[in-house]
């Protein structure tokens, strides 16, 4: 990458980080409109679920439940399978679903369950925030 590209990447990164920090610190000192505890809890829960499902896909890959890349079955080593499993788990959990990797067999049901969890989890955290506000 050229120096101009690196400068652009750094500027965009600083802008994004600044926006997140502004969002977190918004409001006066007595009343925060954003809870760091809830944010980090959500981040940790998402990470654990993504890693957990990635390990499930990885383990099931040894039992002929496979992830197919680009519509064709590719033979990859164990590390490659783990990387594919982690990537697939992340895009499934975050409901992105690019479609470049698709599950076969029971993996489809597992991916559906993971997508449902990824869809419901933010709602559960919002409800938790509302409940905490009402308890205060």
Model confidence over 48-74: pLDDT tens digits?
Answer: 999 999 999 998 888 776 778 777 767
Contact 96, 49 (CB under 8 A): no
In the chain, what are the domain boundaries?
1-34, 35-135
**Distance between CA atoms of 67 and 61, rounded to whole angstroms?**
8
DSSP E strands in 1-136: the ranges are: 67-69, 101-103
Q: What is the CA radius of gyration of the chain?
A: 19
Q: How far is CA 117 from CA 31, 108, 124, in A?
A: 31, 14, 10
Fold of 35-135: Helix Hairpins (1.10.287)
Structure pTM?
0.73
Q: Residue 62: count other Cβ atoms within 10 Å of its Cβ.
A: 10
For the segment 8-35, what is each residue's pLDDT rounded down to a tens digit?
888 988 888 877 676 666 554 555 556 6
């Amino acid at each position: 990458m050229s120096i101009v590209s690196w400068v652009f990447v750094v500027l965009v990164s600083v802008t994004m980080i600044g926006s997140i920090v502004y969002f977190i610190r918004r409001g006066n000192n007595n009343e925060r409109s954003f809870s760091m505890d809830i944010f980090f809890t959500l981040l940790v829960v998402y990470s654990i679920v993504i890693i957990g499902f990635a390990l499930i896909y990885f383990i099931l890959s040894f039992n002929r439940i496979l992830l197919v890349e680009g519509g064709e079955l590719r033979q990859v080593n164990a590390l490659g399978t783990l990387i594919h499993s982690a990537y697939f788990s992340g895009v499934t959990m975050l409901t992105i679903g690019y479609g470049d990797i698709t599950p076969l067999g029971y993996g489809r049901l597992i991916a559906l369950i993971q997508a449902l969890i990824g869809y419901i989890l933010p709602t559960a955290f919002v409800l938790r925030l509302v409940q905490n506000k009402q308890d205060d």
